[in-house]
Amino acid sequence: MFLHWSQRASHQRLGALLVGLGALCFLLMDAARIQAQTPPVLNRSIAPLAGDTLRYARITNPSALTSVLNQTGASRTWDLATLLTSTQSTVDRYVNATQTPYFLLFGNYGKKTADSSSLFEFLGLPPQLPIPGLDSLNLALTNLYDFYNLNNNRWAKTAQGIGLLGLPIPVFYSDPDELLSFPLRFGDRDTSTFAFSINVPTIAEIQRQGQRFSVVDAWGALRTPYGQFNCLRVRSRTTITDSILLSGSAPIGLPTRTEIETAWYTDQNNERGPILRILERGILFFPPTIQEVWYRDRYRIPPPPPPPPLTDPGDVVLYPNPCRGTLNLGLHPLDPCERVRFWNASGQEVLVIEKPGPQIEGLEYLLSAGFYRVEVQAQYGFYSKKILLIP
């Protein structure tokens, strides 16, 4: 089949047009990946459940997100993938109350918030109060838990658990703290109250009352190091008033505090719990400021420790110490390592590595945990160091 020159030119232009349209569609699809299309409507599936294990990373520069708080409204794009940097993470493990020391709270589930604390820290108060005689109330606490209850209408904090004077004490909320109400839609507003009290026998009773005002003030696409999600943003402002009733005295009111949590929730990928949380705190007439920022993340292998200062020929630095699997050898470049020997605490030589280079990996598979004397043979001589290998 033969085509006239004008027909071939027409076909070439059509082909170029189709290629151009294909490239444009690809660009539009790529842009759509960071632009949420419709506001989600969220239900109880976004709340954590017993058995969940959620890892959160705490960012090192929380004040950098100040401008994000003002990014409200519809169809927003929060691209924070490069802004969120972290060197600290924690894991929230949710369990049934019957799996904790506070088994009397059956029907609830919760997570441990701290192994140990003090009563004032638990209440969010400064370690010393400007009221004579109250410092003696700052008792040591252990095994701190928050407990929750979930139904189709709301997710609420219903109790807390504290180890006080050697006893596990469940702290029931007389008025549960309603954290989220369902269904959750853009523009929703909700006001609720909460209250609980802690009785320290023969000493005092501490009472707390609070009010929470929540608004779903934005929706859009959130991008973090954990991934990209179509989210609703919930901003909750909580006002807290505490009072202390010493035995035989009138209530003593403590300064009113304000806490604001801005949290992003999604129903994508069966994710439960907030993807990002910004926590602000203030007291009296001082406006709240950002104190903590946490975002969902996965386990990441920590970066190697920074190299030690350059050593002189005739010296060696072994790091990190204690060591968990990977041992770095800090030697002068003119003093290369030829051999490394390990002796256990009984004086037995248990491992020899020839020409290891600047790093020895996999020690957790070669040696058991414990103390070792390490002899490094280099060009300038022999160096002996002691290290601790941890599991």
Residues in the chain: 391
Is the domain of 320 the same as that of 251?
no
For 274-321, give the DSSP string.
Answer: -SEEEEEEEETTSPPEEEEEEEE----PPPPPPPPPPPPTT-EEEESS
How distant is the alpha carbon of residue 371 from its chain centre?
33
Structure tokens that stand for 350 in this block = 């248990």
Residue 302 lies in a domain: no
Q: What is the pLDDT of residue 131?
A: 65
Clarify whether residues 57 and 178 are in a common domain.
Answer: yes
Is 329 part of any domain?
A: yes
Q: Is residue 100 located within the same domain as residue 176?
A: yes
Q: Please check whether residue 19 lies inside any domain of the structure.
A: no
Q: What is the pLDDT of residue 313?
A: 65
Contact by Cβ (8 Å): 94, 157: no
Q: Specify the 3-state DSSP secondary structure of 233.
A: strand
Distances (CA, A) of 274 to 19, 102, 138, 278: 42, 26, 32, 10
Q: Is residue 8 part of a domain?
A: no
CATH no. for residue 356?
2.60.40
Instruction: Give the pLDDT of residue 239.
Output: 97
> Of 249, 265, 296, which residue sits at a domain end?
296
- According to DSSP, the residues that pair with 259 across neighbouring strands are 238, 281
Same domain, 352 and 230: no
Within-domain flag for 308 = no
Beta bridge partners of 26: none
How many other CB atoms are found less than 10 A from the CB of residue 73?
A: 11
Total domains in the chain come to 2
Sign of torsion over alpha carbons 289, 291, 296, 297: positive
Per the structure, the complete domain to which residue 347 belongs is given by 316-389
Based on the domain organization, do 160 and 209 belong to the same domain? yes
Same domain, 178 and 324: no
Q: Strands across the sheet with 337-343, in order?
A: 349-354, 337-343, 370-378, 381-389
Residues 163 and 88 both lie in one domain: yes
Q: What pLDDT sits at residue 300?
A: 80
For residues 239 and 210, the answer to whether their CB atoms sit within 8 Å is yes
Render the burial of 108-131: b for 16+ CB within 10 Å, e for the rest: bbbbeeeeebebbebbebeeebee
If asked whether residues 66 and 174 sit together in one domain, one would say: yes
Render pLDDT for 279-333 as a digit per residue (tens, 0 to 9): 999 988 889 999 999 999 998 876 666 665 555 666 788 888 888 888 988 877 7
Pair type for strands 189-200 and 167-181 = antiparallel
Q: Is the dihedral of CA 102, 105, 108, 113 positive or negative?
A: negative
Pinpoint the alpha helices (H) of the chain. Answer: 5-32, 119-123, 363-366
* Domain presence at residue 254: yes
Residues of the chain with pLDDT under 70: 1-36, 128-133, 302-314
pTM surpassing 0.85?
no
Q: What is the DSSP letter of 324?
A: S
pLDDT of residue 136: 75
339 and 260 co-located in one domain: no
